[in-house]
Amino acid sequence: MTLKVYGDYVSQPTTAVLLLCLANKIDFELVPVNLRTGEHLGPEFKAINPTGQVPVIDDDGFILSESTAILRYLAVTRNVPDHWYPKDVKARARIDYLLDWYHTNLRQIAVYVIQKELGPTFWKIPRPDEAQLKPAQGKMTASVEILEEFLLKPEEGPFLLGAPQPSIADLICSCEYTLTRYLPQEEQEELLGRRPKTKKWLKALEKTLGRHYSEINKTLPELLKLVADARSSG
C-alpha cells in the first residue's frame, strides 16, 4: 500500500517530509488536510491524530506523527542514501542533536510568523502588539544567530555542522526559513541580511534539491500575496 502523508503545503514540517520523499523517489500519496479551513481540528482528522497536528503518515496501518520522527522513520525504512540519516553512531547522534535543538529553538520562527502574520490573515486572530510578540521574536533571533555562528561551518562543508551532503536536519531547518518570507521585507533583511553563511547554505540546499524545492513551494506565491494583502489592509 502506498504511503499516505496527511499534511498541508503551508505547514513547513509537512514540506520537509515531502522533500525527503521526492528527493528519494519514495512513493507517497498526499492527503490534504487544509489548515486554513481548520480541517486539522475536525473529528475526521482528530481520529488519526488527536493532537490535530500535521504531518502524519500512515504506512500500511502504522500511524506516526511528529515530523522529525517521520523523517527518521522514512530514512531508515526506505534505505535512503546514508547522508540523510547516517548509520554511524556518532554521525547519527549529531543529526539527532540538531533535530532536538530545532524543536526548542528554530521552531520559534513558526511561532513568531504564525502569531504575527498567518494567524491574522488566515484565522482572523487579532494582530498582536509588540509586547506579545517579543518572547517568540527574541527566541527566533537568538536561534537564527546560533545557526549562523555555530552550526554552519562552510570551511568544512556546505551543510549543517559542516557536512558535505544534506541530512534530514537540513531539510527541516531550511523549511523553517521559508516561513520568514511571510514577513515584511525589512524584517527579512534584518534576519538574513547580515548572515552570509545562512544565505549560502540555503542556496546550496535549493540547488541540490532543485525542482523538488519548487514542487513543495508551488502554493507559496499565492499565500505570500494573501498575507501581504491582509497586512496592507491592516
Partner 1 sequence: MTLKLYGDLLSQPARAVVILCLANDISYELILVSLVKREHKLPEFKAINPREQLPVIDDGGFILPESAAILKYLAVSHHVPDHWYPMDLKSRARVDYLLDWYQTNIRQTQAYILKKELYSALWKLPRPQEAEIESAEGTMIASMEFVEDYLLKPEKGPFLLGASELSIADVLFACEYTQTQLLPSAEQEKLLGKKPKTKKWLQTLEQSLAPYYAQAHKTFPELITKVETARNGN
Residue 177 Cβ vs partner 1, minimum distance, rounded to whole Å: 18
Contact of 200 with 158, CB cutoff 8 Å: yes
Q: Min. distance of Cβ 130 from partner 1 in angstroms?
A: 12
CA 135 to CA 111: how far, in whole Å? 10
Whole-number Å distance between alpha carbons of 162 and 16: 20
189 binds partner 1 (CB under 8 A): no
Please state, in angstroms and rounded to a whole number, the distance separating the CA atoms of residues 94 and 40: 33
Which residue stretch of 3-11, 142-150, 191-199, 200-208 sits at the interface with partner 1 (rule: CB under 8 A)? 142-150
* Interaction residues for partner 1, span 45-84 (CB under 8 A): 50-51, 62, 64-69, 72-73, 76-77
**Does 156 engage in binding with partner 1 (CB under 8 A)?**
no
The phi, psi pair for 129, rounded to 5°, reads -85, 175
First to last CA, the chain: 47
Which of 19, 33, 35, 107 forms a contact with partner 1 (CB under 8 A)?
A: 107
Stretch binding partner 1 (CB under 8 A), from 34-42, 91-99, 202-210, 217-225: 91-99
Identify the bridge partners of residue 91 per DSSP, sorted by sequence position.
none
Question: Nearest 5 degrees, angle CA 215-CA 217-CA 220?
Answer: 140
- List of residues contacting partner 1 (CB under 8 A): 50-51, 62, 64-69, 72-73, 76-77, 89-90, 92-94, 96-97, 99-101, 103-104, 107, 131-132, 134-135, 146, 149-150
